[in-house]
Amino acid sequence: MAGQGIPVKKPTGRAVSQRTAVRSQKSRAGKAAARQPVAKQTATPQAVGRKAIGKRPAKAAGKSLARKTTRKKSERVDLPPGVFPHGAVRRHEIKGDHIRRVGIIFAGGPAPGANAVISAAAISFLDTGREVIGFQDGYRYLEHYHPVTHRLQLGEHYRIFAINEVTGVRNSQGILIGTSRANPGAAIRSAADLDDPVRTEKLRNVYAALVDLGIDALISIGGDDTLKTANFLHAYQKHLPKDAKHIQVVHLPKTIDNDYKGIDFTFGYFTAVDFLAKEIKNLRADAEACNRYFIAQAMGRKAGWLSYGVGIAGEANMIFSVEDIEEDLLFDEIVLDGNGKRHMEKRLRIEGIVNKIVDLMIWREEKEGKTFGTIVLAEGLAELLPEKLISNIDKDEHGHISIGKIDLGYILAQMVEKEYGRRTGRRRKVTGLQIGYEARCAPPHAFDVMLGSQLGIGGYRALVEENLDGHMVSVSGQLDLRYVPFRDLVNPKTLKTEVRYIRPGSDFHRLARFLESKAEGH
């Protein structure tokens, strides 16, 4: 009827009971399903969204997600400065795991920090379950090895390092395994000599000893002569049968002279500079007290790195090295080589250096009122002295003299004292001396301990991590390791290394010029 709603039929008792039964069945099914194990499934983004939204309206759910996202962003905190994210440090691959027994040899003159190198290298190998053999006194016993007549005795000729023997010794003086100047490659003059059984006899003895002791790799520590020997051993093995055991060779550079190509500074250099600079400062105080001059001949072989370092740090009034010689200080002289053959060489006009020193002395008196001072000369100048001053010095087959046997400081002191008296009519005491040996086993400077330790560890990393052979370990920057092939350091034809001189006009060279006394004409 109009104005009345649609009539609703009331459910009968049977219909109600049916609906109740259905609801009861659904409830029992749900409880049973809850008791059954459910396989874990990866929720889809839509499912996650539905679960997070639940029965809330879509608009409200959207606001909730926005708040949640904002909260996550606000909770993320940047790493502090200097802290790098996880994974920034690269894991190094082990390429030389076959190296299980390593030999270490130290040859040539001592250098502060030697034990830092030996210790760091040995610890690196021992910590990874490898054996380390330390050969006593360089190549002295190795070059005479014979499996029957000259066997190597454990404890006398070599030692097997234990971890307690190489820990806590990096700052110690001396050399754990000693050293010598024995050179098994002395008879080799060219690459062709590597096929000569006579010239390679001592090199062959070294190789045989290493093989018989089961050595997989050799770490050579020493100067450029020791580098040449390492290169000889590396090259010699290329002339052996293909099935012969191969021993990898890695070299670590050592010299207080710092005249090494392939590395900026060698371990021991800064300790030697520091130690000898203190001597120069002591001599300066003595000179001032007694109104005299000291002329110190510093070690350093042919280059001037050590004399410059000592003179700069020791506040010497003048530094003079081979790199400071100009052509007008040279003259041609006929000389004899070790075999008695005559040839022409450039020699030093010693009077030219004498005049420079006397000019300095007079200038300091007249301009500064100073009647004292110290002068540092590089021992390499001795090789260029006129024949009349070195004729009684023994020479090798190449005509080279042992410069350590020439007291250049003493020779110049006598000549300077005489020339000063001639030019001024006054007497001034001038004393010459040699410095250098006392610094070779001085307590190592902190930098040399760090540098030596890095080079020692570099020996391990070159062999075990990089599986290198015929390389020298070097550093640059903040002790960053790099590995230089022997072929870049040794002339392939002559098999000789090159001396690294101070480049005239370089910043290091000019540093000395700025600091020393500015005598006219000097």
Per-residue model confidence as pLDDT tens digits over 362-375: 999 999 999 999 99
Which H or E element spans position 204?
A: helix 201-212
**Res 395: pLDDT:** 61
| Per-residue pLDDT band at 391 (split at 50, 70, 90) | confident
CA-CA distances (angstroms) from residue 306 to 99, 113, 385?
37, 16, 20
**Res 403: pLDDT:** 78
Closest by CA position to 300, among listed 264, 329, 272 = 272
**Res 2: pLDDT:** 43
| Per-residue pLDDT band at 444 (split at 50, 70, 90) | very high
| Per-residue pLDDT band at 52 (split at 50, 70, 90) | very low
Long-range Cβ contacts of 328-332 (<8 Å, 24+ apart): 328/352, 329/353, 330/384
User: Of 3.40.50.460, 3.10.310.30, 2.40.10.480, 3.40.50.1820, which CATH number belongs to 271-440+503-515?
Assistant: 3.40.50.460
Please check whether the domain covering 101-266+444-488 is classified as CATH 3.40.50.450: yes
| Per-residue pLDDT band at 214 (split at 50, 70, 90) | very high
Cβ-Cβ contacts under 8 Å for 119 (sequence gap 6 or more) = 166, 167, 169, 170, 176, 453, 456
Mean pLDDT of 186-209: 96
Determine the length of the chain: 522
Do 101-266+444-488 and 271-440+503-515 come out as alike in CATH topology?
Answer: yes
**Res 393: pLDDT:** 72
| Per-residue pLDDT band at 356 (split at 50, 70, 90) | very high
Domain boundaries, the chain: 101-266+444-488, 271-440+503-515
**Res 28: pLDDT:** 52
Contact predicate 231/191, CB 8 Å: no
Per the confidence metrics, is the pTM higher than 0.75?
yes
Contact predicate 272/311, CB 8 Å: no
Answer whether residue 17 shows pLDDT above 60: no
Q: Which residue has the tokens 């040899």?
A: 105
